[in-house]
A and B are shown apart, each in its own frame.
Chain A
Amino acid sequence: MTLVLRHPVMIAAGCGGTGPELAPYVEMADLPFVTRTLTRDPRAGSPGARMAESPSGLLNAIGMDNPGVAHFLEHELPWLVRAGAQVFVSLAGSTLGEYAELARRVGAAPGVAGIEVNVSAPDPGGAGIFEAREPFHAASAVAAVRRATPADLPVLAKLRPDVARVVESARAAVEAGATAVVVGNAVPAALPGGRPAGLTGPAIAPVALRCVTEVCGRLPQVVVVGCGGVADVAGARALLGAGAAAVQVGTALLRDPTTAMRLLAALGTDPSTRPREEP
């Protein structure tokens, strides 16, 4: 089982809308598209201010606003599949059982190319999501998903960009059955008033680069997708140069919804099958 991406640039979870919002600006066919994180039940998300600017960064507290997995499977997934996107479904559960249930339902849906296990929400407590405080917590969620997912479907584990723990987290996730790891998610932060939020955007690019460098250096056999602050081709090349097989773009899409196309044009579109050489 390896990760075969049709492009080395993926749309990061929560940043591509449901698909149609992005379609005016990109070629959806073959685009590796990670959905916003879905939960079992619909969630209204955070009340009040959800977003604020920080120098070269974005603070968000969306609170996993999503319509629930049933609505997604019925109303959103079919559009993405018809458009030809390579659909990775991001999942978060409030319990390990819920992770497994979500994986079962999503894994059985036609057209799904893979699952991304979100074990790195910047405010899991506030969102009512299973708290992956320790690497073994994250690994247990990955294992629950892996067991419930068809064997031929890649499972990506999206990890927290915590420099001190990211190598251990990546190792544990792969041992639990992750096909690849996404390094990483938003950096836990706070809105100006103190409410928990996640920091993304170019402000965190050096953090993502450090995390990707550590994981690729220490675990050369692990397939890594770099994520965090990529906005231009130099940023993408930095993560790829550090050993990432692909990159995800997210926050940059808010400023320029064509970012993925721009990066693809600059990087070339060779498929990035990257099971790296065994050491």
Chain B
Amino acid sequence: MGERDPRHVLAEVLASRRAGAFRHLTLTARGIPELFRPGTFVAASVAPTQMTRRALWIHRVSPTGTFGPTLDVVVEPRGVGGRWLADLTVGARVELTGPLGRPFSLPREPVACLLVGEGWSAAPLFPLAERLRDRQSAVTFLLSGADEAHLLTPREARRMARAAHVVTADGSVGRHGDVMSVLPAVLESTGAAVVYAAGPTALLRAVAGAAAAAGAQSQVALQEPLPCGTGLCRACVIGVRGTDGAAHQVRACLEGPVLPGDRVAWESLGGGR
């Protein structure tokens, strides 16, 4: 129970607003915002009938406000847990544990960085962009979604980054297509040395491969179900390759969910969410 340890708190919903198909929740969570680093998450308890937790990327923290430090998460109202979270009203309480997981590694020197995110999963890339920008790295976003409603805030991305490319499956906004249809060109034009990606497993795998092919490092934010988030249950084990190339099992919640793309043994993962 140290000062830098994650904590378990009863958080209060200060705001809930719709953003396209998603909901943004702003919560008080005593002690958690102060320990936040981009890429970490909170585990949320949902309806009392549900024994496992929902892992939510921390999307933003605000150090000061009327209610003290707060954090924001993005919720997709899908499944029992997602709907329960999306239905929370102002003043509702929710048990949160965090911040959990390993954060994104930041480059030591300022370099060109490309941040690739799909749908609500792109949430952890926004505070990462701010941190990279503070360290004088050139940040470019590549955001994708099924349609405009399933796109996480290109406007905010443009405010934070040098450029923000947008691609949608239905062409309702940005380019028509998927990430992989534009990624090689964006990698080339930005000359990115590091690619950060957040989204479904198939996307992460493809991005990690493309980054490696372009000679860039990659950091992927895995979106596996994390039943407890704290390392207790051992239900989230995935394969990773050590420096010796041999695969071994680790808990995604403890060793990840952010991992270097070239360390993930992709065949050990399911389809992701």
Contacts and interface: CB of A to CB of B under 8 A. Distances in A.
Nearest to A20: B231
Given A15-B232, A51-B235, A24 B6 contact: yes
Interface string A43-56: 01100111101011
B1 A26 contact: yes
| Chain B binding surface SS class | loop
Given A51-B227, A58-B52, A256-B45, A24 B2 contact: yes
A20 to B, nearest CB: 8
A23 B52 contact: no
A275 B8 CA distance: 36
Interface residues of A, number: 36
Please indicate which of the listed interface residues B228, B232, B270 has the most CB atoms of chain A within 10 Å of its own CB. B232
A50 B49 contact: no
Contacts of A14: 234
A255 B1 contact: no
Contact of A25 (B1, B235, B237): B1
A62 B1 contact: no
A21 interface: yes
B255 to A, nearest CB: 12
Given A21-B254, A27-B1, A257 B97 contact: yes
Interface string B36-58: 00000000010011111100000
A24 B50 contact: no
A21 B6 CA distance: 10
B230 interface: yes
| Chain A binding surface SS class | loop
A68 to B, nearest CB: 13
Contacts of B34: none
Contacts of B5: 23-24
Given A45-B237, A257-B97, A258-B8, A21 B52 contact: no
Contacts of A258: 8
Contact of A251 (B2, B45, B51, B234): B51
21 contacts: A15-B233, A16-B232, A17-B232, A17-B234, A23-B5, A24-B6, A24-B7, A25-B1, A25-B7, A25-B230, A36-B234, A44-B249, A50-B235, A57-B51, A58-B51, A200-B51, A254-B51, A254-B232, A255-B45, A256-B45, A257-B228
Interface of A: 14-17, 21-27, 36, 44-45, 48-51, 53, 55-58, 60, 62, 65, 200-202, 251, 253-258
